[in-house]
């Protein structure tokens, strides 16, 4: 038992609802008679709008509104959406070109919204979209992930949106020059789509003179704030809600043009308006993930200790700055730049490049998977080049247990860690000792077997503060949370957590989320923050509530002690439960004790870490990779619900393996999307994935009262490098050196052929 | 989806009549047509469903061969040919997913002649004959190219007949996204020769790899395939999922594996 709870593997209470079709998602609960919105979108990737004629569309059956940028402005809207810029290494700010929610004058990616059309039915709206005529004077496109080329924005003539630096450039250069060994690697981190099962959707209606927007998001407050600012409404006139959400992954944390168009249409028409992306529309317009290339270099001394690390990254921003587009591969990447290693000298440069593609932004892990992928790829490569065991190279360079708290070059303070212990456990659990025999057995069947390790660390991000309100009812309780479940199981975990604190059975606790009227502020879901920050706040407020009830019961004497189920008081055999105590308080005119609210801030970040071990078999004739074994040992600190934590790891690994094995957003040279449906965009399926051996080696965090570390993104952070390292292990002796993901059969076969050609040429 | 008329005739004769409407289209299982219509890429005036035509359904022995009604689903073919023609049963059982197999039909598949569909390879290798409302067309003459067949306007595939070989196997290498064949090979060994039909690879749709057929007719072994050069990659499909050279290479690998699995 942990100090703060029982850590039980409770199954998810929301699953019965989700699995039997009783989940209620945004589109399920659109108001009766809602009008349908559809969008006229840019047909080409770059050009000036010569004309946009909506007259014919306005005359189509059922059409009630057709609105382009000028119409939205005439209606009083501000078009420029918000975003955060990063700092350049010279101290200036990143470029801030306008991102209008309806294109003004120029289009910069295929699918950019030009106009919204609202009609009585969706079919009528789509018919009207076809009736709209748009002429674009095309400009040359910039598709290369490189500075220069045709400029997208006057604010960034060389297409460089930011030029971020962290660390000591000169010292790193000097250390590399002085190093006994230098290893370099180019690490491609492919562009992918999150493809949530539920596509993006929203609807808007008027509640009296108030605007209510319902959407599938990761927190209601950011959208509320931007609706207020762009539509010029008073804060008291806007309500945002979020019902069940079918997957967010960072993609749904951000605001999108459609939400403002739909809200503005409802305001203007005084009627409800709904929109839901179809799959193709989602693939065209959802923020993409990753899409960067890093040149990385490690310097070692003669004893193979790392003396310097250098990273030079080019990251694709897409056509505009999305909400956090500039932060992901700069600031967030840098949080775990040096991973779990004792690296005192490092320099990281990251440049964001505008291209004529959809924006990129956070995708499960948001910068940390990218940083760990680069580092763990080059650690493995270094071991091969130096001719040493990759596990031993890591052990040699780990931050020692005695060195914590450890301040990194990125100015993060790792509180605790036992990397060597976790790695030992993973070595045993993965059956590494039997690998040589398994490899021989594979070879006898003409297959190439490889084993790959990745040791990741991630940093819990997102807002460190969270609020909570606890309401004690006659038969149970209600907890209002500032996070937002996207399907992770928050209802179960938050109820379970409060049950552990109050003794009220979890099935009598209702979790309330996703309504800006009922919850004034919150941080939403993202950055692996939810359970830790919400738990932290709930722990504090529940303890305050219990203390207040204890004081009330004692009536001025020594406060009644709470044993987790009942209050115990001196001099009486009475032992009321929390709800019984609350009932007495109500009778005594102390109803205030039945509703308690508060906020807590995490004193510092926590750092989940662990070892992923992948074992693959490659068919050299076809290039096909099968993942034969997969083992994870994580240090998540204390866990509220180990079952749900393991589920998060499974899903995270599926997304990590999906990225490096199959997934790829592809465009042609003109910027048209080639991977525009599931016929061409390969998602991982259950049958592609191995059974996952999962274990934990907890070292409770000292950075919060719960000893927790968070786990939502950890699976993805660790999986990518483990898999690619396993493939490199399998193919190294065949001379394969370029393993840019996704490692599809066709690419692996080609790499094998080129390696063979190279060898023949050498002979 | 655009608006359209919908008809569900009970006989072949009524279906033929219904299809005389301008821009009418036959709808068998709809597994290709429905997504196409949903994306507004097809605008038929009338959709004529063939699923209620009893005389187009079922699987039965037909002399030394098997008769399969055009409106028979993949799931039914998989189940009904398990003993009589295991290789064809296995092909049907591996198309798409359970939902696709419950709706998609053999007639729809051969009439569409998707260059990456499974059935064209199975039917071509099995010395198939395509039966329509007006004639019988040998498979060798039926598949004319990517999405092209010998079917005339309004002609319906009412049945497919195949000869059961001594032994056969369908080796499929899937495209990771669609799970259609990236390249798949159906080999069928008859007493008087071997057929090797390839799908997924060629710009011209399903084709017979005659060099392999000749080699295997003389020497029925995977080694016989080893000695051949892969077909010319320049005629093969090149896309996101593989170059023509890769597909040509897979033709050889899959042929060898199909023979080895027989």
Verify whether the Cβ–Cβ distance B240 to A680 is below 8 Å: yes
B110 and B208, same domain (yes or no):
no
Q: B1 in contact with A at a CB cutoff of 8 Å?
A: yes
Is A621 among the domain residues? no
Residue A430's alpha-carbon distances to A615, A631, A634, A692, in angstroms, are 9, 5, 13, 10
B72 and B127, same domain (yes or no):
yes
Is A504 among the domain residues? yes
pLDDT of residue A5: 62
CA–CA distance, A232 with A73 (Å, rounded to integer): 11
Q: Is the pLDDT of residue A4 over 60?
A: no
Query: How many pairs of residues across A and B have Cβ atoms under 8 Å apart?
Result: 46
Which pLDDT tens digit goes with each residue over A551-602? 999 877 888 899 999 999 877 888 999 999 999 999 999 999 999 999 999 8
B36 and B61, same domain (yes or no):
no
HEC assignment per residue over A502-535 = HCCCHHHEEEECCECCCCCCCCCCCCCCHHHHHH
CATH number of the domain enclosing B203: 3.30.390.50
B147 and B194, same domain (yes or no):
no
Residue A86: domain span: 31-196+248-366
Exposure string (b/e) for B206-245, b if CB count within 10 Å is 16 or more? Answer: bbbbebbbebbbeeeebebbeebebbebeebbeebbbbbb
Total domains in the fold of chain B: 3
What share of chain A has pLDDT > 70, as a percent? 99
HEC assignment per residue over A25-65 = EHHHHCCCCCEEEEEEECCCCCEEEEEEECHHHHCCCCEEE
Nearest to A293 by CA among A183, A161, A191: A191
Which pLDDT tens digit goes with each residue over A215-237? 999 999 999 999 999 999 999 99
Residues present in chain A in total: 763
pLDDT of residue A21: 92
Instruction: From A331, A366, A401, give the residue that closes a domain.
Output: A366
Paired sense of beta strands A210-215 and A201-207, if any: antiparallel
Report residue A580 as tokens: 């019984």
> Nearest by CB to B241, which of A622, A683, A746?
A746
**Lowest model confidence (mean pLDDT) among A266-280, A349-363, A517-531, A603-617:** A517-531
Instruction: From B148, B163, B178, give the residue that closes a domain.
Output: B163
- Average pLDDT value over all residues in chain B: 96
Is A126 among the domain residues? yes
Q: Among B41, B100, B176, which would you mutate to test the A interface (most chain A Cβ atoms within 10 Å of its Cβ)? A: B176
Which DSSP string corresponds to A363-384?
Answer: -TTTTHHHHHHHHHHHHHHHHH
Instruction: Locate the DSSP E strands across chain B.
Output: 5-7, 24-27, 46-49, 59-62, 65-69, 129-132, 136-138, 143-145, 148-149, 157-163, 167-174, 181-190, 193-199, 207-208
Which pLDDT tens digit goes with each residue over B207-250? 999 999 999 999 999 999 999 999 998 999 999 999 999 999 99
Q: Is the pLDDT of residue B145 over 60?
A: yes
Sign of CA dihedral B63, B65, B69, B72: positive
Verify whether the Cβ–Cβ distance A674 to B240 is below 8 Å: yes
Q: Is the pLDDT of residue A640 over 90?
A: no
Nearest to B122 by CA among B211, B68, B185: B185
Nearest to A749 by CA among A727, A719, A723, A720: A727
A56 alpha carbon, distance to own chain's centre: 42
Instruction: From A326, A348, A366, give the residue that closes a domain.
Output: A366
Which pLDDT tens digit goes with each residue over B152-198? 999 999 999 999 999 999 999 999 999 999 999 999 999 999 999 99
pLDDT of residue A531: 84
What is the mean predicted confidence (pLDDT) over A328-346? 97
Is A580 among the domain residues? yes
Instruction: From A349, A366, A383, give the residue that closes a domain.
Output: A366
CATH number of the domain enclosing B39: 3.30.43.10
pLDDT of residue A1: 36
Binding-face residues of B in 29-48 toward A, CB within 8 A: 39-40
Q: Is the pLDDT of residue A278 over 60?
A: yes
**Contact of B213 with B204, CB cutoff 8 Å:** no
CATH number of the domain enclosing A70: 3.30.365.10
For residue A542, is it left (φ>0), alpha (ψ between -120 and 50) or beta? alpha
Which pLDDT tens digit goes with each residue over A651-665? 999 999 999 999 999
Contacts of A680 in chain B (CB under 8 A): 177-178, 240-241
B62 and B134, same domain (yes or no):
yes
Q: B241 in contact with A at a CB cutoff of 8 Å?
A: yes
Verify whether the Cβ–Cβ distance B178 to A679 is below 8 Å: yes
What share of chain A has pLDDT > 90, as a percent? 87
pLDDT of residue A487: 86
B118 and B62, same domain (yes or no):
yes
**Contact of A190 with A657, CB cutoff 8 Å:** no
pLDDT of residue A200: 98
Nearest to A381 by CA among A737, A81, A9: A737
In degrees and rounded to multiples of 5, residue B238 shows phi and psi of -120, 125
Residue B102: domain span: 56-163
Which pLDDT tens digit goes with each residue over A119-129? 999 999 999 99
In degrees and rounded to multiples of 5, residue B18 shows phi and psi of -65, -30
Nearest to A273 by CA among A287, A291, A260, A289: A260
CATH number of the domain enclosing B124: 3.30.465.10
Paired sense of beta strands B5-7 and B46-49, if any: parallel
Higher pLDDT, A11 or A193: A193
Q: Is the pLDDT of residue A760 over 70?
A: no
Element (H, E) at A638: none
For residue A304, is it left (φ>0), alpha (ψ between -120 and 50) or beta? left
Higher pLDDT, A202 or A640: A202
Contacts of B99 (CB under 8 A, 6+ apart): none
**Contact of A333 with A371, CB cutoff 8 Å:** yes
CA–CA distance, A154 with A732 (Å, rounded to integer): 46
What is the mean predicted confidence (pLDDT) over A313-318? 98
A467 and A353, same domain (yes or no):
no
- Secondary structure percentages of chain B, helix, strand, coil, to 5: 35, 25, 40
In degrees and rounded to multiples of 5, residue A228 shows phi and psi of -60, -45
What is the mean predicted confidence (pLDDT) over A184-202? 98
Residue A83's alpha-carbon distances to A77, A323, A414, in angstroms, are 17, 4, 29
Verify whether the Cβ–Cβ distance B241 to A126 is below 8 Å: no
Q: Is the pLDDT of residue A2 over 50?
A: no
- Average pLDDT value over all residues in chain A: 95
What is the mean predicted confidence (pLDDT) over B127-145? 98
Contacts of A675 in chain B (CB under 8 A): 177, 240
pLDDT of residue A762: 64
Is A261 among the domain residues? yes
> Nearest by CB to A666, which of B1, B39, B240?
B240
Total domains in the fold of chain A: 2
Which DSSP string corresponds to A409-430?
Answer: TTS-EE----HHHHHHHHHHHT
Which pLDDT tens digit goes with each residue over A17-34? 999 999 999 999 999 999
Helix (H, G, I), strand (E, B) or coil at A84: coil
> For residue A559, what is the DSSP state?
P
Nearest to A497 by CA among A6, A2, A15, A14: A6
Verify whether the Cβ–Cβ distance A680 to B178 is below 8 Å: yes
Contacts of B249 in chain A (CB under 8 A): 749
Partners of A575 in the β-ladder: none
What is the mean predicted confidence (pLDDT) over B246-257? 98
Partners of A181 in the β-ladder: A300
pLDDT band at A736 (very low <50, low <70, confident <90, very high): very high
Is A704 among the domain residues? no
A668 alpha carbon, distance to own chain's centre: 27
pLDDT of residue A705: 87
């Amino acid at each position: 038992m942990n100090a703060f709870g029982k850590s039980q593997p409770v199954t998810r209470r929301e699953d019965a609802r989700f699995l039997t079709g009783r989940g209620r998602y945004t589109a399920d609960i659109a108001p009766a008679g809602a009008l349908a919105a559809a969008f006229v979108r840019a047909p080409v990737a770059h050009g000036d709008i010569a004309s946009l004629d909506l007259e014919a569309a306005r005359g189509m059956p059922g059409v009630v509104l057709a609105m382009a940028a000028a119409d939205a402005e005439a209606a009083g809207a501000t078009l420029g959406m918000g975003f955060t810029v990063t700092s350049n290494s010279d101290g200036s700010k990143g470029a801030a070109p306008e991102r209008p929610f309806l294109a003004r004058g120029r289009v910069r990616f295929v699918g950019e919204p030009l106009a919204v059309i609202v009609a009585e039915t969706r079919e009528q709206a789509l018919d009207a979209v076809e009736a709209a005529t748009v002429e674009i004077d095309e400009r040359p496109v910039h598709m290369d992930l490189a500075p220069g080329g045709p400029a997208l924005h006057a604010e960034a003539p060389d297409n460089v949106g930011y030029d971020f630096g962290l660390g000591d450039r000169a010292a790193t250069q000097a250390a590399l020059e002085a190093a006994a060994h230098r290893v370099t690697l180019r690490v491609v981190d492919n562009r992918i789509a999150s493809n949530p099962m539920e596509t993006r959707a929203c609807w808007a209606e008027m509640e009296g003179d108030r605007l209510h927007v319902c959407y599938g998001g990761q927190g209601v407050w950011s959208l509320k704030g931007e609706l207020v600012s762009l539509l010029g409404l008073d804060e008291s006139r806007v309500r945002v809600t979020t019902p069940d959400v079918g997957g967010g992954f960072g993609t749904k944390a951000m605001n999108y043009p459609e939400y403002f168009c739909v809200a503005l249409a409802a305001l203007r028409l005084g009627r409800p308006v709904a929109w839901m992306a179809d799959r193709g529309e989602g693939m065209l317009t959802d923020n993409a993930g990753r899409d960067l290339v890093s040149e990385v270099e490690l310097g070692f001394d003669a004893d193979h200790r790392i003396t310097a690390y250098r990273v030079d990254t080019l990251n694709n921003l897409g056509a505009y700055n999305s909400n956090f587009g500039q932060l992901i591969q700069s600031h967030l990447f840098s949080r775990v730049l040096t991973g779990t290693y004792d690296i005192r000298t490092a320099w990281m440069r990251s440049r964001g490049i505008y291209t004529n593609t959809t924006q990129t932004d956070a995708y499960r892990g948001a910068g940390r998977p990218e940083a760990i992928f680069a580092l763990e790829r080059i650690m493995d490569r270094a071991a091969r080049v130096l001719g040493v065991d990759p596990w031993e190279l890591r052990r040699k360079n780990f931050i020692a247990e005695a060195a914590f708290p450890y301040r990194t070059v990125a100015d993060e303070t790792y509180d605790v860690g036992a990397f060597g212990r976790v790695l030992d456990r993973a070595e045993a659990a993965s059956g590494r000792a039997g690998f040589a025999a398994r490899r021989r057995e594979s070879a006898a069947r003409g297959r190439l077997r490889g084993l790959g390790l990745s040791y990741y660390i991630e940093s819990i991000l997102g807002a460190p503060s969270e609020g909570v309100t606890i309401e004690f009812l006659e038969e149970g309780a209600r907890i209002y949370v500032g996070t937002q479940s996207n399907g992770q199981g928050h209802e179960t975990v938050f109820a379970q957590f409060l049950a552990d604190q109050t003794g009220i059975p979890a099935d009598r606790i209702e979790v309330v989320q996703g309504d800006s009227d009922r919850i004034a502020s919150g941080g939403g879901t993202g950055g692996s923050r939810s359970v830790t920050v919400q738990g932290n706040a709930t722990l504090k407020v529940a303890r305050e509530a219990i203390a207040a009830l204890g004081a009330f019961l004692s009536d001025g004497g020594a406060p009644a002690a709470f044993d987790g189920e009942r209050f115990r008081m001196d001099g009486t055999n009475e032992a009321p439960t929390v709800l019984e105590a609350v009932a007495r308080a109500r009778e005594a005119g102390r109803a205030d004790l039945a509703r308690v609210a508060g906020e807590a801030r995490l004193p510092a970040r926590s750092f989940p870490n662990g070892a992923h071990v992948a074992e693959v078999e490659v068919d050299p004739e076809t290039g096909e990779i099968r993942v034969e074994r997969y083992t994870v040992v994580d240090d998540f600190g204390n866990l509220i619900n180990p079952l749900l934590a393991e589920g998060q790891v499974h899903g995270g690994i599926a997304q990590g393996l999906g990225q490096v094995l199959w997934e790829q957003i592809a465009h042609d040279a003109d910027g048209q999307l080639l991977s525009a449906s599931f016929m061409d965009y390969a998602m991982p399926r259950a049958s592609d994935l191995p059974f996952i051996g999962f274990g934990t080696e907890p070292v409770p965090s000292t950075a919060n009262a719960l000893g927790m570390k968070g786990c939502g993104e950890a699976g993805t952070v660790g999986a990518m490098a483990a898999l690619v390292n396993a493939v490199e292990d399998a193919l190294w002796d065949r001379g394969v050196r370029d393993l840019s993901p996704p490692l599809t059969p066709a690419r692996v076969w080609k790499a094998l052929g080129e390696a063979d050609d190279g060898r023949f040429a050498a002979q | 989806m655009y608006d359209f008329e919908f008809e569900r005739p009970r006989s072949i004769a009524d279906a033929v009549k219904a299809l005389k409407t301008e821009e009418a289209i036959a709808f068998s299982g709809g597994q290709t047509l429905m997504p196409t219509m949903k994306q507004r890429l097809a605008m038929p005036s009338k959709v004529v469903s063939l699923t209620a035509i009893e005389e187009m359904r079922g699987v039965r022995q037909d002399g030394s061969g098997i008769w399969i009604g055009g409106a028979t689903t993949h799931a039914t073919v998989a189940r009904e040919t398990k003993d009589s023609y295991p290789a064809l049963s296995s092909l049907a059982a591996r198309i798409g997913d359970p939902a696709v197999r419950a709706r998609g039909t053999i007639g729809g598949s051969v009439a569409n002649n998707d260059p990456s569909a499974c059935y064209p390879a199975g039917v071509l290798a099995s010395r198939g004959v395509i039966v329509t409302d007006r004639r019988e067309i040998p498979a060798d003459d039926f598949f004319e190219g990517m999405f092209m067949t010998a079917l005339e306007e309004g002609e319906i595939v009412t049945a497919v007949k195949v000869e059961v070989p001594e032994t056969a196997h369908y080796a499929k290498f899937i495209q990771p996204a669609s799970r259609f064949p990236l390249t798949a090979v159906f080999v069928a060994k008859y007493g008087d020769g071997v057929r090797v039909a390839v799908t997924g690879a060629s710009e011209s749709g399903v084709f017979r790899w005659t060099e392999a057929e000749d080699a295997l007719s003389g020497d029925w072994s995977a080694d016989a395939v080893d000695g051949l050069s892969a077909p010319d990659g320049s005629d093969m499909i090149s896309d996101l999922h593989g170059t023509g050279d890769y597909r040509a290479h897979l033709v050889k690998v899959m042929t060898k594996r199909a023979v080895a699995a027989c």
